[in-house]
Amino acid sequence: MKTIVWFRNDLRLHDHPALKKASECGEVLPVFILPDHTSVTATDWWLYESLKFLQQQLLELGTPLTILKGNPSKRLSILALETQADSLFFNGQIDPVSRKQEMDLLESESLSKVDIQRFEPNMLLDPNRLKTGAGQPYKVFGAFWKSLQQQTIPWPLAAPTSLTSWIQVYPGTIPLEQSGLRSPIDWDASLEEAWTPGETASFEQWGTFRDKKLTRYDTNRDFPAINGTSRLSGYLASGNMSIRSLWHAVRRAQEEGIAPQPEPFLRQLAWREFSYYQLFHFPHITERPLRSEFLHFPWRDDPEGLIAWKKGKTGYPLVDAGMRELWETGTIHNRVRMVVASFLIKHLLIDWRIGSEWFRETLVDYDVANNTLGWQWVAGSGFDAAPYFRIFNPTMQSKKFDKNGAYIRRWVPELDALPDSFLHEPHRAPEETLAEAGVVLGDTYPLPIVDHAAARARALEAYALIKGKKEGST
């Protein structure tokens, strides 16, 4: 049988159900269809590097990767017709855009004679499997986590050891160098210093985390100056790594005594699963709040505040450090990620969807499910979210989680010479202290763009306006 395997957000060989099945059925033609957009994002850089690595992997197994661009249904229909393929296999995705593409494929008349098979997405379980006692989707993470722990997670599939293809070079394939995934401006050099995308790198990063950080994960993960997180999110978001393989690898580390208590990290993997689960059952959440009263929230239009937030010039050192880390490395520490999101939403009253879009452009680990649920959690508009009146004090967060200022000094070097006692709120430092440190507020470092107490009061007032409101009320 001649099978086209459509690669998507699953740029790996291990635990790839569509590829595994196709390799067992006959010849395989791997294909990737480039995203049809003009602006280049951080995830495009990761995608480029992942495709380059996948190309080499597939060639070593005996088949090339065909790269196309355009509407997936149309491009795959033409490809199947011209190559006389018998079947088309792909792993599913759960975001609304991808599900629409899948439906177009399945309903395509030009593919009516082609055996089309959709395999499970990169999730621990089928999202229809876990339901409440009333048969409804879970809306609270705690109950979801309890139910998930009672399930048997399927074992990951082994990678094929060889592949054959009836097409060696498809005439319409696009050279990766002409994919448009790399900007003509050399803006991504810092990303290359921080990351190595690809399947092999994902295994290496897991090994480093397992051996050096997993046992102290729960203790260290909240401190941005400590390299205590897994740094696996980019590999999961791109599909360089299978979530099932990671889950079982953690369990294996537990059995071997490497990580006797891995639940804190497994719980984070479960949060990822919960995000996918929510997006599957409530696909509108990328555009609309889950809690309908937030449809009436009085968001502010604050272009200057938004620019200051993006550039890391808010006058709040922890916020600024996080936003600069994001720009330079394409990622941001999880604790700081919550702080900067809270600042945009609750200190500036800027719509969470604007922040979500900036993260889409700048994160190498951008994941529509994780990103959406994260922003809705901070906004308080999700089903299981932080209450809106929980407003992070960025100064207190800074003092608690970056006490000695190592994180701030790394990303906001103009404050490096300030003593620890004033590093977290330079606007309160005496003039002589600022002068000794070479800090000129409003010049070398900005004054706070908003007062915390005033911003908190304004946010609570805005929240009070929507309490009790539901969709359709006025």
pLDDT digits (tens, 9 = 90+) for 232-291: 999 999 999 999 999 999 999 999 999 899 999 999 999 999 999 999 999 999 999 988
CB 247 within 8 A of CB 259: no
pLDDT digits (tens, 9 = 90+) for 398-436: 999 999 999 999 999 999 999 999 999 999 999 999 999
Tell me which long-range contacts 143-151 makes (C-beta under 8 A, separation of at least 24). Answer: 144/270, 144/274, 144/277, 145/267, 145/270, 145/274, 148/124, 148/270, 148/273, 151/124, 151/125
Quick check: helix, strand or coil at residue 91?
Answer: strand
Q: Alpha-carbon distance 272 to 243, whole Å?
A: 9
Q: Is pLDDT of 472 > 60? A: no
Q: Is pLDDT of 378 > 70? A: yes
Q: What is the pLDDT of residue 52?
A: 97
Q: Which residue has the higher pLDDT, 36 or 242?
A: 242
The DSSP code for 445 is B
Q: Alpha-carbon distance 333 to 223, whole Å?
A: 8
What would the mean pLDDT of 7-32 be, rounded to a whole number?
97
Q: What is the pLDDT of residue 468?
A: 59
Q: Alpha-carbon distance 329 to 42, whole Å?
A: 9
Phi/psi at 52 (5° precision): -60, -40
Res. 466 pLDDT band, cuts 50 70 90: confident
pLDDT digits (tens, 9 = 90+) for 132-176: 999 999 999 999 999 999 999 999 999 999 999 999 999 999 999
Res. 183 pLDDT band, cuts 50 70 90: confident
340 vs 5, 271, 313, 331, CA distance in Å? 40, 20, 12, 13
Q: What is the pLDDT of residue 473?
A: 32
The DSSP code for 370 is H
CB 54 within 8 A of CB 141: no
3-state secondary structure 190-232: HHHHHCCCCHHHHHHHHHHHHHHCHHHHHHHCCCCCCCCCCCC
What would the mean pLDDT of 218-228 be, rounded to a whole number?
95
Res. 336 pLDDT band, cuts 50 70 90: very high
What would the mean pLDDT of 325-339 be, rounded to a whole number?
95
As a whole-number percent, the residues of the chain with pLDDT over 70 amount to 99
Q: What is the pLDDT of residue 469?
A: 58
Q: Alpha-carbon distance 351 to 321, whole Å?
A: 22
Q: Which domains are assigned to the chain?
A: 2-120 (3.40.50.620), 122-154+198-281 (1.25.40.80), 292-466 (1.10.579.10)
CB 57 within 8 A of CB 199: yes
Q: Which two tokens stand for residue 236?
A: 């999961």
Q: Alpha-carbon distance 163 to 27, whole Å?
A: 7
Tell me which long-range contacts 218-221 makes (C-beta under 8 A, separation of at least 24). Answer: 218/261, 218/264, 218/265, 221/264, 221/334, 221/335
As a whole-number percent, the residues of the chain with pLDDT over 90 amount to 89
Q: Is pLDDT of 471 > 50? A: no
Res. 467 pLDDT band, cuts 50 70 90: confident
CB 32 within 8 A of CB 66: yes
